[in-house]
Each structure stands twice: as structure tokens, then as C-alpha cells.
Amino acid sequence: MKNRRFLMIIGLLLAIGMVLGACGSSDDEGSNGDNEGSDNGDEASGNEDFSAAMVTDVGGVDDKSFNQSAWEGLKAFGQENGMEEGEGIAYAQSESDADYTTNISRLVRDEYDLVYGIGYLLQPDIAKAAEQYPDTNFSIVDSVVEADNASSILFKEHQGSFLVGVAAAMKTNSNKVGFVGGVDGDLINKFESGFIAGVKSINPDIEVEVQYAGAFDAADDGKVIASQMYSSGIDVIYHASGGTGNGVFAQAKDLKKSNPDEDVWVIGVDRDQHEEGQIDDMNVTLTSMVKRVDIAIQDMTTKAMNGEFPGGEIVEYGLEDDAISVARTNEDAMTQDIIDAVEEWKQKIIDGEVEVPSTRDETKAFVDSL
């Protein structure tokens, strides 16, 4: 009888164990369901593991222009996603073009998911890296790389350059304006072409002098060129020369400091360069052709993190995307009549009424048609 009761107790305990096991199994299934959610969470947390870095051109990350704008975009992405320099985002500075390949390779070895080449000068090195490292995504700014793991970011710089040309033509008192380029090539020719077309659209009789420094990191040369231009009677200079443009600003500020009544203006490029023109209570920055490299970098990096990287595609940004604009920071210089004219021509460009030239041949034909 006792044995029988003992066996019943054992049986009951076994039954309870089985029920508890079933509940545990059910919970595990629920957990697995949650784990699927957790997998999604892991995917999201995989986003936290995502990393991106950029290689500058020789202008450096603090060039107050193109590279700096790109880095600001990457930092803005980092801030949005809880990352900071060295923890999810980074840059490698190039002192010369010999550093491009070394810097790209180092960032790949450091396992960054997306590596940018900032500027068309890095195109050959990014193209080679894209072929050599198929598991890494690359992006080139201002050029095209044809590879499934590379995206190409382009801008309609000629459109914005046309608009600052309009501003320069309306601001000049001498009817002489200047353009200072970095390296003479297809890209910077877009800036030159649009600027000349914009100036001539307002007044075909205005003279436009064009000079190239041959480098994007030659501030001393930029200062010499600006000195020659201002001495010849030019009163507005538009630069598209990266760090070389720092010399243009330096010369304008020197002249303004020695003679506050002298009309000398600089038009900045890539980012709003109002600060670069500040001297005491005066400012020599008329406006800037703002090329929102920061917006493009932030947008492209977000796409890559979300699994929407446009590999093999060209992504172009222009006036219609608000990725090209004209700065109005200097309210004393950018008077309402200039702003109204810029807005009028901007709308004509967006509506297709004006086709802005992007090469010297197109510019000649455009000017001849005025």
C-alpha cells in the first residue's frame, strides 16, 4: 500500500514536470518569436556596429571648404546615430596624393563598412580599392567609379556658380570680376563656366578674368593671384580652389583693413564661407556657392547603414534638391535686389528655361547667344 502510494506520488511529480516542461517549451517558442524580434533588434544593433570613414584630398579636413563640409556631414550622421570620431566614424588625412592608396587600405583593414574618397583626385584609387575589396562599400565625391560596391556622388555646381555670377555682376562697380580655380580640369571648369554665364546674363560687357593656381592647397598662390586681380581693378573674385581660396580671403581682408572704403569682395565655395571673410566689424564675403557635400555624405551614409546603398549608381544633387544654394549671410552685401534677381534666375533654371553651360565650349555658345 505504501509502495503504491509512493508510486502515485512519483507519477504525479513526473506529470507536473512534463507540464512545466511544456510551459517552458512554450515560453521558449515565445522567446524564439521574441528572438526574431531580437534578431530585428540585433539588426538595429547591427546598425550600431556600422561604421563609415573618409579619405580627404590634400586640402585637409580643416580646409574650410570641400573636405571640411564632407567631414561635417559624416559627423552629423554620427551624432544622429550615437557615434563620434574613432567610434563609428573617422577620417584619414592625405598630405599628398601618395597617401590616397595607403589611407584607403588602412580604413579597409580597420573594417569600416563604407569608405569615401573626397574629391575627384581620389577616383583612380577608389576604383582600384573597389575591385580589390569587394566586401567593402566605397563612395567617390565629384567623380564616377563603375563598380557594384561603389556609389558616385555628383553635384550641379554650374547651376550654383551661375547664380553667384548673377550676384557678382550686380555687385561690381568696376565691371571687372575674377575667377580663381584650383586645378584646371573638367570639374572646376563647371564652376568657371556657370559663373561666366551668370555674369554675362546680367551684363555681357563685364570682363571676367580667369586664373588657376594649379593646386587646392596653395594659399600663398591664391593670395598672389588675388593681389594681382584686385590691383587690376577687379572688385569681386569667385574662388573654386579649396584651401587655395584661403589666400584669396587673406588678400581681400588685408586690403579692406588698410582701406575700409575699398570695394573688395570674395565669393566663397562649397560651404558658407562668411566667417572666413570677417575682419573686425567688416566682412569681405559677398556670398558663397554652397555645395551641400555634408547633406550628400549624411544621406549616402544613412542609406548604406539601412541596407539601401546605391552601389553602381550615380547620385546627382542640384538646385531642385536644395543641395546647391547661394548664401545670404552677409545681409549688408546681399541686398534685396540681388536676392530677387538670384531667385528669379534660380526658378528659370529649375523650370528648364535656362540651360546652364558646364564646359568652356558651351559657355562660349551661351555668351554668343546673349
Note the pLDDT tens digit of each residue in 180-223. 999 999 999 999 999 999 999 999 999 999 999 999 999 999 99
Residue 47: the pLDDT is: 63
Dihedral pair phi/psi, residue 270, rounded to 5°:
75, -50
In this predicted structure, what is the pLDDT of residue 7? 43
Q: What is the model's pLDDT at position 156? A: 96
How far apart are alpha carbons 340 and 126 in whole angstroms?
42
pLDDT digits (tens, 9 = 90+) for 255-289: 999 999 999 999 999 889 999 999 999 999 999 99
What's the pTM? 0.77
Residue 360 in grid coordinates: 568652356
Give the mean model confidence (pLDDT) for residues 125-129: 98
Q: pLDDT tens for residues 11-64?
A: 444 444 443 444 443 333 333 333 333 233 333 334 668 999 999 998 889 887
Residues 6+ apart with CB under 8 A from 361: none
Domain ranges of the chain: 48-155, 157-291+335-368
- Check if 48-155 and 157-291+335-368 are the same fold: yes
CATH 3.40.640.10 for domain 157-291+335-368: no
User: Residues 251, 253, 257, CA angle at the centre, nearest 5°?
Assistant: 120
Mean pLDDT of the chain: 89
Residues 6+ apart with CB under 8 A from 259: none
Burial group, residue 368, by CB count within 10 angstroms (0-12, 13-18, 19+): exposed
> Does the domain at residues 48-155 carry the CATH identifier 3.40.50.2300?
yes
